[in-house]
Amino acid sequence: MKKFVNDPENFVDEMLDGIYRAHPEVTHAGDDLRCFVRSKQVPGKVGLVTGGGSGHLPLFLGYVGENMLDGAGVGGVFQSPSSEQILEVTRHVDQGAGVLYLYGNYTGDLMNFDMAGELADLEGIKTATVVGRDDVASSVPGEEHKRRGVAGIFFLYKAAGAAAARMMPLEEVARIAEKASARTRTIGVALSPCIVPEVGKPGFEIGENEMEIGMGIHGEPGISRDALAPADEVVDRMIERILAEQDYTQDKEVAVLVNGLGATPLEELYILYRRTAQRLEAAGAQIRHTFIGEFATSMEMAGASISVLQLDSELEPLIAAGGDTPFFKKLAN
């Protein structure tokens, strides 16, 4: 196992200790390092809380900061945070305007966030929930509600974060997050597996010349395993799935996220972006915002994902807004 770890059991807490040491703008609510919150909350603002397993940095906690999220429940590697941790974060970030839960569509997260929301309700904290389900490769037709949440959740954070920072009420922030969710599509491709520290070996195998389109960020099975093709052909096969679900006749403007899963060089992400841009433009889209880099990883997995958010006049300025977290900085444009 080629990893920088001490005792694998301490992987998450040592990582968190490193983050808190480096970035005083974030801290933990109470004694539990895994209850991750902004050091200063904004009075009267809707609180935005996410959460999920570790091993996906900058997802999830990396989006806690100005114009973005207010807290995150931090689970073990590829494990959900507990309902108690989510509740503790909820209590901390609630500033009287309620709390929106924004997370990916996974069974453990659904269960624990729902439970936390019920407990918060008993304490008089109003919550609402929007889940990311952007992975087009993770459902059969007609079961789109079962799709997994992957890198495209970044757009939900960005839109809802900017909306909440403008002091919109909970119902509005939730409506905007839901709209961003409905308009976001992602598809991924994996070239190599990743290693969970406590397991110590790869979670699955991919042959030396194979790729798997549609694989999930925890190694969930994709839709096809084929010989690795040239970069442009890989993009062509992926983007078809997104183009089939978006029509740029009316709303032409899009935001594009080309995300590295961990080990893929940034150079290669730009080669993928090049073809993605060619194909989107050929389909009538106008690329208004680009995000290229590592936004949602799977430890040291080699691979990438492409996400497209179809903008409208409400979402565009929210995506254009600035953001400032230890892991994501954007100047307003």
What's the rounded Cα separation, in Å, for the pair 202 and 301?
10
Q: Tell me if 29 contacts a second copy by CB under 8 A.
A: no
Is position 280 an interface residue for a second copy (rule: CB under 8 A)? no
In whole angstroms, how close is the CB of 56 to a second copy at the nearest point?
9
Nearer to a second copy, 240 or 324 (CB): 324
Window of 42-50, 134-142, 238-246, 257-265 that interacts with a second copy by CB under 8 A: 257-265
Residues 33, 119, 231, 283: which binds a second copy (CB under 8 A)? Answer: 231
Beta-bridged to residue 211, according to DSSP, are 226
By the 10 Å C-beta count (0-12 exposed, 13-18 middle, 19+ buried), 149 is classed as: buried
Number of residues that bind a second copy (CB under 8 A): 56
What residues contact residue 10 under an 8 Å CB cut-off, 6+ apart? none
Question: What is 33-48 written as a DSSP string?
Answer: TTEEEESS--TTPPEE
Mapped onto helix, strand or coil, the DSSP state of residue 184 is strand
User: To the nearest whole angstrom, how small is the minimum distance from the Cβ of residue 98 to a second copy?
Assistant: 29
Distance of closest approach, residue 168 Cβ to a second copy, in angstroms: 24
Q: Which residue has the tokens 């993009």?
A: 235
Local structure of 158: helix, strand or coil: helix
Compute how many other C-beta atoms are within 10 angstroms of the C-beta atom of residue 5: 15
Q: Which of 111, 167, 199, 266 binds a second copy (CB under 8 A)?
A: 266
Which residues face 100 on adjacent strands? 48, 128
Q: Least Å distance between CB 2 and a second copy?
A: 4
Sheet with 99-104: strands ordered across: 26-28, 35-38, 71-77, 47-54, 99-104, 127-132
* 78 DSSP 8-state letter: T
Annotated catalytic residue: which of 28, 56, 92, 289?
A: 56
268 interacts with a second copy by CB under 8 A: yes
Q: Encoding tokens for residue 135?
A: 């992975």
Binding residue for a second copy, selected from 74, 128, 163, 234, defined by CB under 8 A:
234
CB of 274 to a second copy, least distance (A): 4
Site string for a second copy, 34-63 (x = CB under 8 A): --------------------xx-xx-----
**At closest approach, how far in Å is the CB of 292 from a second copy?**
6
145 is known as an active-site residue: no
Backbone phi and psi for residue 153, each to the nearest 5 degrees, phi listed first: -60, -20
Q: What are phi and psi of 134, to 5 degrees?
A: -95, -10
Could you say whether residue 9 binds a second copy (CB under 8 A)? no
Determine the interface stretch with a second copy among 43-51, 78-86, 93-101, 286-294 (rule: CB under 8 A).
Answer: 286-294
191 is a site residue for a second copy (CB under 8 A): yes
SS3 93: helix
290 binds a second copy (CB under 8 A): yes
Per-residue binding letters, 194-223, with a second copy (x by CB under 8 A): --------------x---------------
Q: Is residue 6 at the binding interface for a second copy, with CB under 8 A as the rule?
A: yes
DSSP string, 277-315: HHHHHHTT-EEEEEEEE-SS--TTB-EEEEEEEE--TTH
Instruction: Give min distance, CB of 112 to a second copy, in A.
Output: 21
Show the CA angle centred on residue 200, arms to residues 194 and 203, nearest 5°: 40
In the complex, the residues that contact a second copy under the rule CB under 8 A are: 2-7, 11, 14-19, 21-23, 54-55, 57-58, 191-192, 208, 228, 230-232, 234, 262-274, 277, 290, 292-294, 297, 299-300, 302, 304, 324, 327, 329-331
Catalytic positions, written as ranges:
56, 218
